[in-house]
Amino acid sequence: MNREFIATGMAALAEIDQDVAQAFENLGPPPPRIRPKGFETFLATIVSQQISTEAAKAIMGRVKQLLPEASAEALLSVDDQALREAGLSFRKIEYAKGLAEAAQSGRFDIDGLEVMSDSDAIDSITALRGFGRWSAEIYLMFSLKRPDIFPADDLALQVALGRLKKLPEKPTPKQARDLIAHWAPWRSVGSLFLWHYYRGAPA
């Protein structure tokens, strides 16, 4: 999502939601967030699970040094012990090799995700071990630039939405989806703004 797309989406959201309009006036637009498409991003998603951003970057850097290229074939050629020494847990090695095998065999068509519907692409990604709905939705938002995604399981989004709507406590994922249903077809921009609001708004 680039600045122009975000500006258009925020203008539309401010028209239909007074709480967004007021917060937008105070905080301004969220910064763009774009991730590349392809195998390396899926691999990085596995590497980053349940560890800090800094640790994930360091481990991903060491993993990439083992690979002649960021591809399924290259990863499958690397010994598990080398990946372990790079910092991957046994479970993450299992997930990474599973991703690579699915991509190499054609069971998981990374390029084909671009022409799938949102729901079909999410189903395809979550069929892989190690990938939940949140990971799939993040890939759709930031790599495939899908405009109408809302990762309702994200804790920061729930907290931010509860603050924005002045609720006594954070909403459940289902409540969150219901609260922002009228944001369609700009729910990706709305999600980006909620993360922005989470960091910038008073508790």
- In the chain, what are the domains? 3-33+149-200 (1.10.1670.40), 39-142 (1.10.340.30)
Amino acid 52 reads S
Token digits for 128? 């892989």
Q: Is residue 188 a contact partner of residue 146, using CB atoms and an 8 Å limit?
A: yes
- pLDDT of residue 122 exceeding 90: yes
pLDDT of residue 36: 94
Any alpha helices (H) in 28-52, and if so which ranges?
A: 39-48
Rounded Cα gap, residues 34 and 107, in angstroms: 26
Rounded Cα gap, residues 18 and 6, in angstroms: 18
Q: Which residues are catalytic, by number?
A: 154
pTM score of the predicted model: 0.90
Cβ-based neighbour number of residue 38 at 10 Å: 14
- pLDDT of residue 182 exceeding 80: yes
pLDDT of residue 135: 93
Tens digits of residue pLDDT in 142-178: 999 999 999 999 999 999 999 999 999 999 999 999 9
What does the mean pLDDT of the chain come to? 95
pLDDT of residue 50: 87
Tell which residue, 187, 184, 146, has the closest CA to residue 37: 146
Q: How confident is the model at residue 1 (pLDDT cuts 50, 70, 90)?
A: confident
Rounded Cα gap, residues 149 and 141, in angstroms: 6
pLDDT of residue 68: 87
Token digits for 196? 């922005």
For residue 69, the 8-state DSSP code is S
What is the mean predicted confidence (pLDDT) over 30-49? 93
pLDDT of residue 201: 61
Tens digits of residue pLDDT in 42-67: 999 999 988 898 999 999 999 999 99
Rounded Cα gap, residues 10 and 179, in angstroms: 17
- pLDDT of residue 203 exceeding 80: no
Q: How confident is the model at residue 84 (pLDDT cuts 50, 70, 90)?
A: very high
- pLDDT of residue 202 exceeding 80: no
Q: Is residue 6 a contact partner of residue 32, using CB atoms and an 8 Å limit?
A: yes
Tell which residue, 50, 78, 45, has the closest CA to residue 63: 78
- pLDDT of residue 131 exceeding 80: yes
